[in-house]
Chains A and B, each alone.
Chain A
Amino acid sequence: MIRINCPFCGERDHTEFSYGGDASIVYPELDASMEEWHDAIFMRENIRGMQSETWHHANGCRMWLVVERDTMTHEIQSVRPAHKGNAAVLSTTDTGGEQ
């Protein structure tokens, strides 16, 4: 069992969460080229080692989180809210992260 320290709920089993995927993927503008969309939708670096990824606390606070996790050892280095704005509204101490 992986334990994820949700900034809103505290440390929980990973079974409370659902796995999103590679957090380094940023979707391009709607009218971006086919090439850019192709790469964002289909192409992955597939890192063996520390990767930044999204998890959804589906059976908890329902917030999206960005987790740095080693894909070889499953060790977690950091967890932060994916959406800074939501975190600020809920006034947690950790408001790092991208909007």
Chain B
Amino acid sequence: MSRYSAWAVFKNGFSGQKNWDRQWRDPEPKKEYDVVIVGAGLHGLATAYYLAKNHGIKNIAVLEKGWLGGGNAGRNTTIVRSNYMMPGNRYFYEHSLKLWEELSHELNYNVMFSQRHHVSLFHSPAARDAAARRYNTMRLTDTDGELWDLDTLKKEIPHLNYNNARFPIIGAAVQRRAGSARHDAVAWGYARGADRQGVDIIQNCEVTGVTREDGKVTALETSRGRIGAKKVGFAVAGNTSRLWQMAGLGNLPIESHKLQAFVSEPLKPLLDHVVVYGVGGAHFYISQSDKGGMVFGGDLDWYKSYAQRGNLPVVQDVAECATAIMPCLGRVRLLRHWSGVMDMSMDGSAFICKTPIDNLYLNGGWNYGGFKASPGSGWYFADLIANDRPDPVIEHFDLGRFKRGVIIDERGAGPDPKLHG
């Protein structure tokens, strides 16, 4: 399979750009694999990529019930940042951000990672103090972070509502290295990179059962027949509980909730940064895509759901937030909105861990935050599967943390999944 380059574009120009190779094969499932990953979202694909790349395991399949990247991978608002404070999260997200910084080169695929700054507005001295504490804590371990006063903010982003906002803006906490990326390209880049190393990505292949013998998983029942596996990893985002129950493992500290995202008609360049607004119950984040659409989102739909379909009250909430913070958007038309089903965990943090079954591994509980996490998640999940022990960076992402009383509750919201994010 050929490398992508300016030269390749030029050369293919002679044949009307019609002779490019397929980006990945469409293989028939083999009888057995050394590692089977369930779910071809970002986490599953990245895991397969790093298993092959970092650990030399090549006999791998990724099973996907729909098409690759059709789940949350292709539904998120693409914000990438590492402004986490809790010890269990901080090193992990910073490592992930470092991987993002090299990802287009690593994958030979333009993931359009744009470090356009993540600008989190604050509206009271107390919120500024909390942000100062968070960003100073990050800086202790070399994550960048700074505070902008009102003058700086006005200069950088002139068209926020500085005049008569219900909650006056007084400044912002900023991570310059944060930004956004093209979500589809990340899924496709990892898929192509994994496929090139021999990984079989098997689409339209729903896992419907987990066969266990002598305490181990031996095979997965799928809509394309039984597929044997020496090791199995789950990376199915909002469907983790279902797979967990197929394996006969009972309950999890997870509820499935849906989150919506929105895109407007394309506009001329308007917003250079990712802007986040959260005060008095409002929660809103917005950026502008390279095609010009304003991409934004807010809270989840407030009740548990597996429907990949959003409700209308949240459309109204989000529209109110948009016009509250950027009144200039008032007459912009909404083009599309959609929703994805996510694992909301009991403390808002993730799981990359071993399970009660020896050769079964879990990756899930990503809440709203799994897009930014995907390179790091694939990296450490591959390491866990290959070496059968967690790296110290992900030691806290296990299921036992609730029993130990060391939950990683970044928001301090308590054991109510819908309140995390």
Contact = CB atoms under 8 A, between A and B. Distances in A.
A31 B350 CA distance: 30
Interface in A10-39: 13-15, 18-19, 21-22, 34, 38-39
Give the size category of A's interface with B: 20 to 34
B264 to A, nearest CB: 23
B418 A48 contact: no
B403 A48 contact: no
Given A38-B403, A53-B304, A72-B306, A44 B254 contact: yes
B303 A43 contact: no
Contact of B242 (A13, A19, A39, A48): A48
Contacts of A38: 402-403
Interface in A52-75: 53, 69, 71-74
Given A44-B255, A46-B254, A51 B304 contact: yes
Most chain-B CB neighbours within 10 Å: which of A19, A42, A43?
A42
A48 B402 contact: no
Interface residues of B, number: 26
A90 interface: no
Contacts of A46: 241, 251-252, 254-256, 304
A43 B304 contact: no
Most chain-A CB neighbours within 10 Å: which of B255, B304, B305, B418?
B304
A9 interface: no
Interface in B296-335: 302-307, 311-313
B259 to A, nearest CB: 15
Nearest to B313: A15
Contacts of A13: 313
A2 interface: yes
Interface string B165-196: 00000000000000000000000000000000
B198 interface: no
A45 interface: yes
Nearest to A48: B306
Contacts of A53: 303-304
A41 B313 contact: no
A44 B303 contact: no
A74 B307 contact: yes
Contacts of A21: 255, 304, 416
Contacts of A42: 253, 346, 402, 415
Given A44-B251, A44-B255, A71-B256, A19 B303 contact: yes
Contacts of B304: 19, 21-22, 46, 51, 53, 71
B307 A44 contact: no
Contacts of B312: 1
A22 B304 CA distance: 9
B307 A73 contact: yes
A73 B417 CA distance: 20
A34 B404 CA distance: 11
A5 B131 CA distance: 43
A71 to B, nearest CB: 5
B303 A72 contact: no
A73 B303 CA distance: 13
Contacts of A39: 251
B412 to A, nearest CB: 16
Contacts of B346: 41-42
Contacts of B255: 21-22, 44, 46
Given A19-B302, A43-B252, A1 B313 contact: yes
Contacts of A69: 303
A72 B242 CA distance: 13
Interface in B341-355: 346
A43 B253 contact: yes
A44 B254 CA distance: 6
B403 to A, nearest CB: 6
A70 B302 CA distance: 15
B307 A45 contact: no
Contacts of A14: 303, 311, 313
12 contacts: A1-B311, A14-B311, A19-B418, A21-B304, A21-B416, A43-B251, A43-B253, A44-B252, A44-B254, A46-B254, A71-B304, A72-B307
Q: Which 9 A-B pairs have the closest CB atoms?
A: A46-B241, A43-B251, A19-B303, A42-B253, A42-B402, A48-B306, A15-B313, A42-B346, A72-B306
